[in-house]
Amino acid sequence: MFENLGDRLQNAVDKIKGYGKITEDNISEVVREIRLALLEADVNYVVVKEFINKVKEKALGEEVAKSLKPGEVFVKILKDELVELLGGEKADLYTGGSPSILMMAGLQGSGKTTTAGKLALLLRKKFNKKPLLVACDVYRPAAIEQLKQVGRELNIEVYDEGDGNPVEIAKNGVKYAKEKGYNYVIIDTAGRLHIDESLMEELENINNEVKPNEILLVIDSMVGQDAINVITGFNDRLPLTGAVLTKLDGDTRGGAALSIRHLTNIPIKFIGVSEKMDGLEEFYPERMATRILGMGDIMSMLEKAESVIDQDEALKAAKKMQSGKFDLEDFLSQLNQIKKLGPLENLIKMIPGAKKMGLTDVQIDPKDMAHVEAIVLSMTPYERRHPEILKASRKQRIAKGSGRSVEEVNRLLKQFEEMKQMMKHLKNGNMKLPF
């Protein structure tokens, strides 16, 4: 996500920080690099021009000239303008209805149906809502079955009437939700390969019939600048309240995200960051700006951890670590918690300064974690609680049972012991954390 753009902007930032004094010449040089970076990221030309002018104007102002650290002031200007470009304040989803009604719209292939399921899951987990999915795409082969499969996977009910009238299905779905006590309705509508009159007329009719509180347009971020045309086309006929950018994890440019709000005034409310059902995130302009500039995104990382990690278990494990009673049973439990966080390299990128520490290029093979898990699971419960009893014969049996080597078993045990010793030192105050 934004890898190429982020790298280019961070290089420009590093250059400006190296200047003891900011002049018009060196500002122009850095700004030129930023302009090229944005254009190569497929940001709209008009947006780039206005953005660059604002940054340059502020950078040549008195505040920067008088600053003892002009480079840092410039970085703040760049970040603030990026935040503004991305929408400024976070645009919240409406959740106050009884029920709240949300209509999903988008072109075929944008990921609309899957996103409907992801959104339902997020509403249940974060907002404590009871969502109902309504299947109104009666044209695309297997569209209803796809939504029902998503519903089964998430244990979320899907209302459908087969190949009926989409307007009537939507109306009946809302009625059903009220009768059954659902407090959120997500209507999955039909898409087309392009905007056409019949599609828009149907969406207008659904909108007029059920009067949704939110109409979200789902856009494949890979379409680049064409996203603007798609939004404009839909917004001319529907009162869009927000956009969802999907497949942002596969788009290293990210130009659409940086152009949408400025050109259409439609806020980005969610972004798709992975193919997994929990891979939908609320969009925070400031967090995204800091992520692009390599400043990290601690808040998103903490929220991710809080959403998947059992807090009681984590607290219990921390206390055992500090007391030196942490064993391989506890280690296995924590390993399973970490796995829920998704690819660790994605989390590492959220750490401030990760790029400068050389961490962003770290590739963590999920197989390595699987191998560690296999080794620990090949131990008896007693061995996990008392790893000190693991001698040669036991290690050979564990290696054979896990399909790994004795050397790997020894390496794991050594690393585990080193971790225990480090925690003891931290508790006794003999060691300071490296930050």
Classify residue 272 by its DSSP letter: E
- For residue 120, give the nearest of 104, 133, 135, 134 by alpha carbon: 133
Half-sphere exposure of 257 (CA within 13 A, CB side): 32
pLDDT for 432 = 42
Residues 53/55/60/62 CA torsion (nearest 10 deg): 130
Task: Give the single-character DSSP code of 357.
Answer: T
Fold designation for 308-428: 434 Repressor (Amino-terminal Domain) (1.10.260)
pTM for this model (two decimals): 0.69
Look up the CATH architecture of domain 3-85: Up-down Bundle (1.20)
Q: List the single range of 20-34, 56-70, 410-424 with lowest mean pLDDT.
A: 56-70
pLDDT tens sequence across 377-435: 999 999 988 888 999 999 999 999 999 999 999 988 888 887 777 666 555 544 443 33
End-to-end CA distance of the chain: 27
> For 417, phi and psi rounded to 5 degrees?
-65, -40
For 133, the token pair is 């999915």
- CB 166, CB 136: distance < 8 Å: yes
100-284: what fold? Rossmann fold (3.40.50)
Q: Give, in order, the Cα–Cα distances in Å from 278 to each of 151, 153, 281, 362.
A: 13, 12, 8, 23
Q: Where are the domains of the chain?
A: 3-85, 100-284, 308-428
CA angle 352, 119, 308 (to 5 degrees): 50
120-136 confidence digits (pLDDT tens): 999 999 899 999 999 99
Q: Is the pLDDT of residue 309 over 70?
A: no
